[in-house]
Chain A
């Protein structure tokens, strides 16, 4: 049962690069993607995830 990335807290969003590139949550099974992705790509993924979250919020408020 993996985290719903649309439900990431502001705290997690603030550490997005640290998690994806820095391996912050590797002990929990979230691999570091350093070497696979650069910072710009990680930012693009985060922007995409945020856009999904906005769609979800909009869906709830409907």
Chain B
């Protein structure tokens, strides 16, 4: 008897909760159907997570740009690096009848079905930062050209070595997470220049984009290639921090006055400061501020214009010394920013 009562009450509770769900869904559906023309533009943003300072800057940029003052209403979902959560978030956005959906895809495949749903619902999707490889049913992609970052790094190193009279380059690379587009692009870019110039890449191991990873890999490098290397390329700032600790322990000097040229990517503010202090020779930015570009694309779409499918954010290259003023990447002349206190103070992140 007791059990039956329990079962009955449970099923009743379930029925009620289902009804409640239905009610909620209905409520959110109606205003969305009214049309996006009046009222704020509703934007749904499915962010990867909050794993790094870079990500935090990216989130903050979106929150600043898509604010109420700018005529937006932002629904922000932090997916905590869980791709299933991200798919759910996007489906929720469709249900809620968002005007635009922004996705920073955690994984690059498995998107076709949900993007088709977006298309059927008539909601333009804008992809930022990471890429989607198995579907092209999105309106535009905004992000960094990682290969250009790698190429820039190589070109700078070439010019720097020529200026300093360094004839032989023996480089060690600490890669990012295996398979990440940033890792692939930066590795390919740098390798292209290294092959062209006949440099030796002694080893290339993954530090997983973390400080602990960079530390462990560098510690191992210091033993395997003791006294054989003069360049260390870290594919993000956190790894560079780890590499510095490991080199300190092994008694290897680096930076402007050291034996080893240390290069990093991402250029977060604390690490741009390290460039100014001369501990990192050069740092190549990966700009997290995609939101202003997305804002432009949305404005174009609102005016019934067709935006470009691929938009690259502008990025800067930072150096500790001013001996290399400009570099030529892909036939285009680009400035190397010599980091001073002024430059540092002007950095938003």
- Are these two chains actual partners, yes or no? no
Chain A residues with CB under 8 Å of chain B are none
Binding site for A on B (CB under 8 A): none
